[in-house]
Copies of this chain bind each other. A is one copy, B any other.
Amino acid sequence: MKLTELGGEGALIRRIARRPRAEEVMVGIGDDCAVVRIDGERLHLLTVDMLVEGDHFSRTYFTPHDIGLKAMESNVSDIAAMGGRVLYGLLSICLPGDTTVSFFDELYRGLYDVADRYGFDIIGGDTTHGQQVIISVTLVGETDASRLRLRSMAGPGDLIAVSGPLGGAMAGLRLLQNGVEGHADVKRHHTSPRCDMDRLDRIVPIAKAMEDVSDGLASEVHNICRASGVGARLHSEQIPLCDAIRETAALLGDDPLEYALFGGEDFKLVYTVSPNDESRVCGTVVGEIIEGDSVFLDGQRLTRSGYDHFTGSRTIP
């Protein structure tokens, strides 16, 4: 049996995850980050992500600087999604034998630009050679127990909010894939996304469950619902869309809402809040948590259908 027939990345995670034996490991495989208690309230957050040429980026559309930016920023987003800040990073990078020094330097300039933006050090690296450009980023972050936000912390009655407009990354990808000239601002959403670490101090005090939008809003809301044992209702007219993507969608005959729901890689935060905190929401309320285990969009049951980095399928229904 092929691994691709197992049912995607979630099925793989369930296959390999084990209950950690060490008491200090509070969360293992399965959330945006692992969580380890260092002492008392002090927690470390650990995350690793591998970006593969042809899947997460293309050397046709991306400058090497963009590749570095995106690889690092998407990992910073995972630390933000748990309520943390980054302490340090480690890299392992696979490069084809014909890679130029200027490609290497530009790639690292992108990686370091993000590290500088958030004020952390890159403390380890391994460079090897292979057929594709592949970048694995490990980040260690920290938070304290009172700021930790997990997928499992949502409850019925919570409002669901997103920290910023969605769909831009998929719109940019669609323009690039279709060879459409211009629209540089939309394309940048795909090639150099920016996470919402800077809004975290306004979000953490009110957030209950939280996650970053790496695989599309539908997929992330499903993750929160499954981890919290709840359902959700989303309202399409409330979902904030990035500027200019309606124009992109019209041009390509797509539905812009599908970019937001199923596109992924927007790296905004999706989080739940108590209705009492509605006036303090940073971003936009897009729905609410309900009893049950189903996610509804405008009253219709919504399937998961985000981007799956193992099967490579990006299902737009």
Contacts and interface: CB of A to CB of B under 8 A. Distances in A.
Interface of A: 1-6, 9, 12-13, 15-18, 20-22, 25, 27-29, 33-34, 36, 38-39, 46-56, 87-88, 90-95, 97-105, 108, 112, 119-132, 134, 136, 138, 140, 309-312
Contact of A4 (B2, B3, B97): B97
A128 B20 contact: no
A107 B6 CA distance: 16
A25 B121 contact: yes
Pick the most buried of A120, A125, A131: most chain B CB atoms within 10 A of its CB. A125
Given A29-B124, A38-B38, A46-B124, 10 more contacts: A13-B125, A15-B105, A22-B121, A25-B123, A36-B87, A46-B140, A47-B90, A49-B126, A52-B94, A129-B309
A146 to B, nearest CB: 20
Given A88-B25, A124-B33, A129 B2 contact: no
B3 A55 contact: no
A130 B124 contact: no
A122 B92 contact: no
Given A55-B129, A130-B134, A310-B128, A122 B50 contact: no
Given A36-B123, A130-B55, A48 B94 contact: no
